[in-house]
Structure 1
Amino acid sequence: MEFTLKTTFNTTAKQIYKAWLSTQGHTKMTGGEAFVSDKVGDPFTAWDGYIKGENLVLEPYHKIVQSWRTDNFKENEDDSQIEVILSETDCVTELTLIHSKVPEDGEHYIQGWQEHYFEPMKAYFEP
C-alpha cells in the first residue's frame, strides 16, 4: 500500500528540514519525544519510541527519505518508507509526504500523519 499527502506551512523549507532532522526540533514540532540525526545511515526514533527507522537519503532543505516502522508492524513485515519533499515559494513550503511499502492494514497511518505531524507542525511553525 502507498499513499501521498500534501500540506503547506508558512515557513521555509530549511526550517522544516532542520527541525525534522534534529532531536530537539522534531520533539518540539510533534510533541512526542524523538531522537533524530541529520546523517545518512543513522537510526531515529519518534513519538516516544513508537516510530523507528533510518535515514536513507538526505538532500538538504529539499528531500528526506527514511525507512519507517511502528510498534504495530508485525515482526515479519518489512519497514515501510517515507519520502518528504519540500518545495518553497515566498516563505511558504509545500510538504509532500509519500509513504510506501505500508502494511495492508496501515490505512490508519494517513490520519496519524495529519493528527500527530501536520497539525502540531502547523501550531509549531505558525504560532
Structure 2
Amino acid sequence: MSLRDFKTRLKIKTEAEDVYAALTNPFTIELWSGYKAQMSTEVNSEFSLWDGDIVGMNLAFETNKMVQQQWYFGDQEEPSIVTIKIFDDKKGVQIELNHTNIPADEYDDICEGWTEYYLGAIKEFFEQD
C-alpha cells in the first residue's frame, strides 16, 4: 500500500486556548463540527469524530500547544500519525498540521477534509462575525 504525507499551516484570529479546546473538548468539537464527538486528553484514549468517520488513539498532549493522534485506516501496518502544533502569532495563532502515512487512495479526501471540514471549520467558527 502506497502512503503519503500532508502538511499545512493556517492562521486563526483567536487564542491558543480556544484552538486547543476545539481540538480536545468534545463539547467544543460538537459546536464547530455539528457532530457528537468522543474525545479525551488522556494519553492512549480512543476518540471518535463525525459519527465515527474519524477514529483513532490520542498519543500525546501539550496543553494549548500540541495534540498528537494516531488515525486508524483499516489494517494499515504503518501508523498514520497526526501532529497539530499551535503557535502564538501577532493576530492570533498559527496551526501547523503534519499528517503522515495516509493511504494513497484516501489522500485527496483526507487533504480536503483537513482544509475544508476540520481546520477550515475551526477557523470559520472562531472568525465568524
**Structure-2-length-normalised TM-score:** 0.87
Deviations, residues 12-70 of structure 1 (Å, cap 9, x unaligned): 1111112211111111122232111111111110011111011101011111000113x
Pairing 1:22–2:25 present: yes
Superposed, 1:10-49 pairs within 5 Å as 10-49=13-52
Task: Determine the C-alpha separation between the residues in 1 that align with 2:91 and 2:15.
Answer: 5
Task: Determine the C-alpha separation between the residues in 2 that align with 1:77 and 1:118.
Answer: 25
Greater helix fraction, Structure 1 or Structure 2: 2
The match for 2:120 is 119
Superposed, 1:36-115 pairs within 5 Å as 36-69=39-72, 73=73, 75-78=74-77, 79-108=79-108, 109-115=110-116
Task: Determine the C-alpha separation between the residues in 1 that align with 2:100 and 2:89.
Answer: 26
CA separation of 1:61/1:20 partners in 2, compared to 1, >3 Å: closer, same or farther? Answer: same
User: Identity, % of aligned pairs?
Assistant: 27
AA of the residue aligned to 2:89: T
SS in 2 for 1:107: helix
Q: Is the 8 A contact 1:13 1:93 kept in 2?
A: yes
Which stretch of structure 1 is more off in the superposition, 6-15 or 87-96?
Answer: 87-96
Q: Is the 8 A contact 1:33 1:49 kept in 2?
A: no
Unmatched 5+ stretches in structure 1: none
Unmatched 5+ stretches in structure 2: none
Paired residue total: 123
Task: Determine the C-alpha separation between the residues in 2 that align with 1:29 and 1:99.
Answer: 21
Task: Determine the C-alpha separation between the residues in 2 that align with 1:121 and 1:110.
Answer: 15
Aligned Cα RMSD in Å?
Answer: 1.4
Pairing 1:5–2:11 present: no
Task: Determine the C-alpha separation between the residues in 1 that align with 2:115 and 2:36.
Answer: 18
